[in-house]
């Protein structure tokens, strides 16, 4: 199991951050992802594998004024 934004979901072996975001239907253009408190760079979403028992924070950044 992994936790995404506090919600427990099934762990899928060898799933990348990009694949996880797609599975969760997080299609926001401006999203910040942390795995166990460590920031994942947008350029690394496809190559970063989500480890089992991890806590993922996917934060949708909204601009405004």
Q: Is pLDDT at 29 greater than 90 in this prediction?
A: no
Q: Would you state the pLDDT for residue 10?
A: 97
> Would you identify the CATH topology of the domain 2-60?
Ubiquitin-like (UB roll) (3.10.20)
- Please give the sequence-ordered ranges of beta strands (E in DSSP) within 1-65, or none if there are none: 2-4, 7-9, 31-35, 38-40, 55-60
| Among candidate residues 45, 1, 4, 40, the one with its CA nearest the CA of residue 24 | 4
pTM of the model: 0.90
Q: Tens digit of pLDDT for each residue in 33-55?
A: 999 999 999 999 999 999 999 99
- Binning the chain into helix, strand and coil, the percentages to the nearest 5 are 15, 35, 50
The predicted model gives 4-29 an average pLDDT of 95
Whether the CB-CB separation of 11 and 65 falls below 8 Å is answered with: no
Q: Is pLDDT at 65 greater than 80 in this prediction?
A: no
């Amino acid at each position: 199991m992994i936790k995404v934004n506090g919600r427990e979901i099934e762990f899928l072996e060898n799933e990348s951050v990009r694949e996880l975001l797609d599975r969760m239907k997080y299609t926001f253009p401006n999203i910040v992802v942390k795995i166990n408190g460590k920031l994942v760079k947008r350029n690394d979403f496809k190559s970063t594998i989500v480890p089992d028992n991890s806590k993922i924070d996917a934060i949708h950044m909204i601009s405004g004024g």
